[in-house]
Amino acid sequence: MLQSISSNPFRSKSKFPIIFEIKGALYRCFCQGLNLKLAWLPSHSGIRDNEFVDSLAKQASTSGTLMHHITYTHDLISLAKIHQMADWNSLWKKTQKSIGKYYAELQPDIPSKPWFFKFRNGSKHSTSVICRIRLGHTCTPVFLAKLRIKDSSICECGLDEGTIDHKFFNCPNLSVSLYDYLPNNIPRPVNLKSLLNLVFTPFVQTLLDFISINNIKL
């Protein structure tokens, strides 16, 4: 509250009407020559008046009136977000049965924040590569043949289908297989789909380093 009062409300994203009211009251006090000091006091600090105010606040939360004179939009935003996430998750559960099944196995629920939220140092290209892998839209022979961009879905090595798992684990053109590049704390056997569940962890950088070392174009 003190930070909100001391900040410039016209430059803030959250323009609470009550902050304007408090600022207006402080200005009227200033015009009347009243010198006020605002300070934060921790609860249960042994100050009698502060303890009394705390007790009144607790009473109001349980026995106060249900009628409010003013309902600010900021009080409703949190409720709207909760309902929005619930509806989004419900729709996601229904649609994943018919479309986007591959991605739905990696992302069964809508996260509160995207996987790259903690990946602050990652470049736009790195984020794009991981997103394409998670969606299954990569420049592998299998996917390009599906789009009729290539005539064959066989890998350049000529030994097997050019799937993303083959390109990462078994292709003889690799400098090092992803099996050998994985940290020891990741249990084996493993496939790429199970590893993609770890993009919310620092493992995402390990995966990007592997792609860079092997110069895999995705």
Condensed to tens digits (0 to 9), the pLDDT of residues 4-43 reads: 888 876 666 666 788 888 889 999 999 999 988 888 877 6
- Top-ranked range on mean pLDDT: pick from 45-49, 72-76, 96-100, 165-169: 165-169
pLDDT band of residue 64 (cuts 50, 70, 90) is low
The Cα–Cα gap between 148 and 39 comes to 69
What average pLDDT does the segment 109-126 reach?
85
Nearest 5°: CA angle at 144, between 142 and 146? 70
Long-range Cβ contact pairs of 83-88 (< 8 A, separation 24 or more): 85/110, 85/112
The more confident residue out of 84 and 49 is 84
- Can you give the pLDDT at residue 20? 85
- Can you give the pLDDT at residue 14? 61
- Top-ranked range on mean pLDDT: pick from 44-53, 113-122, 126-135: 126-135
Answer whether residue 142 shows pLDDT above 80: yes
pLDDT band of residue 218 (cuts 50, 70, 90) is confident
Condensed to tens digits (0 to 9), the pLDDT of residues 171-180 reads: 999 999 998 8
- Per DSSP, the three-state class of 145 is helix
- Can you give the pLDDT at residue 80? 84
Q: What is the DSSP string of the chain?
A: -HHHHHS-TTS-S---HHHHHHHHHHHHHHHTT---------TTSS-HHHHHHHHHHHHHHHHS-S--S---HHHHHHHHHHHHHHHHHHHHHHHTTTS-HHHHHH-SS--SS-GGGS-TT--HHHHHHHHHHHHT--S-HHHHHHTTSSS--B-TTSSSB--HHIIIII-TT-SS-HHHHS-TTS-SS--HHHHGGGTTSTHHHHHHHHHHHTT---
